[in-house]
Amino acid sequence: MNNLRIYHNGLLLIFLLAVCSCVNDDSFFSVDSDNKKITSTIAMMTVFNDLKTKDLGLSERDICFSFKYPLVLGYNNDSTIQINNFEGLLSAIANQNRNFYLTGLQFPVQVAYQNKDVLSVIEKEEDFITVLKECQIPTFRNEIDTLFKQCFKFSYPVLLKDKNNKDTIVDNENSFDRFLQDNGNEYQPDFKFPVEVLVAPKFTATKVSSYYEFYEIINNCIGCPDTKFQIESLANNRYRFVLNFEVKDGYRLFFIINEKIHGEIIDGNPFEKLLAPGDYDICIKAITPDCLNGKEFCKKLKVEPACPEIIIDYEEISPQHTTYRFTPRVTMLNEDVTVSWYLNNTFVKDELLSVGYVDIELDQGTNTVCADLKTENCPDGVRSCAEVILR
């Protein structure tokens, strides 16, 4: 047994020496783990994965925050390492693999944000989550919420610890969704590994034994496109819709208004639509080879009435009968509509706008002649009046 322990420790020493040879001697070094309490933290692994997926030639000035060194980090085999600078941290992150990876650190640690002068003390997992949010780094929960069912599913049952550290068995997708909802938005899924994960696009069964391996799946996930779009307001309640993402071969895009499909978008080109006044939920749904269930991105749009302007010209055409001709001039309107004419609030007649005029016999005194019209974009109607005084 002692020989086995010596052999194991010897292998660990060889590995650490090999890792340390990649960087300056003072970047990091192995430390005695007996007196170092290491706390496992999902948020730390999220931070390190974020750095791993960036260009490892980046400077510490290029990231949102920096650690105050030294740091003591723990590996999955209970060994520890002291990190003395940013270069050493990047090297330790880069030299992880499925058999030897970082799982936690010794609290407390201090971080400094690039835009703040005050050091923040990190004493627990929740403090690390605050750092992620401050720096807009997606948490592990964010990744689960976004990529679950897109890039991976689970082979059930799955065992997790809830927010109260109680073991919970999840038997199906609905139970998993409900479990996340019951534990709140701040909860980070605490899996009891190993977990069998079904990885897209064919949802092939893959045994996942750690968060390090889980992040390998997340990092390789293509998933659903970020189907963002802009809405541009044109004249007369006409709107242009412009996609803000690359449309690749194999994409199918659908234009949805108030949960009803209004056609398929071809080639991702901008398109226009006339909308009547009202409140709308405008969505674009994308179905791709890597997003078979599709993903929707929606915006709310309130279309206000767009009423034309009516100007009434008039002239006397029969002095003996006090008959006047009223000619409406209408702006912002490209269609023929019915104009309703009134004399002193009494209905006279309806006449098509294309006729161009209406003749009305007036009385002595003050005559108020009004023209009303309604359009699809002006459902409540618009009125314009002219006052003619005969003495």
CA 129, 132, 135, 141 dihedral sign is: negative
CA angle 79, 80, 83 (to 5 degrees): 150
- Number of CB atoms found within 10 A of residue 86's CB: 18
Class at the top of the CATH hierarchy for domain 309-390: mainly beta
Do the two domains 229-303 and 309-390 of this chain adopt the same fold? yes
Say how far apart CA 215 and CA 49 lie, in whole Å. 7
User: Biggest alpha carbon distance in the chain?
Assistant: 128
The residue ranges of every structural domain in the chain are 2-134, 140-219, 229-303, 309-390
Does residue 270 have a cis peptide bond before it, meaning omega lies within 30 degrees of 0?
A: no
What does R_g of the chain's alpha carbons equal in angstroms?
Answer: 35
Residues of the chain where predicted confidence (pLDDT) is lower than 70:
1-36, 55-57, 332, 334
pLDDT, one tens digit per residue, over 43-65 is 999 999 999 887 656 788 888 99
Assign 211 to helix, strand or coil.
helix
pLDDT of residue 62: 84
3-state class percentages of the chain: helix first, strand second, coil last, to nearest 5: 25, 45, 35
pLDDT, one tens digit per residue, over 215-241 is 999 999 887 888 889 999 987 788 999
Say how far apart CA 15 and CA 30 lie, in whole Å. 11
Alpha carbon of residue 347 to chain centroid: 54
CATH of domain 229-303: 2.60.40.10
Beta bridge partners of 338: 352
Is-contact 95 19, C-beta < 8 A?
yes
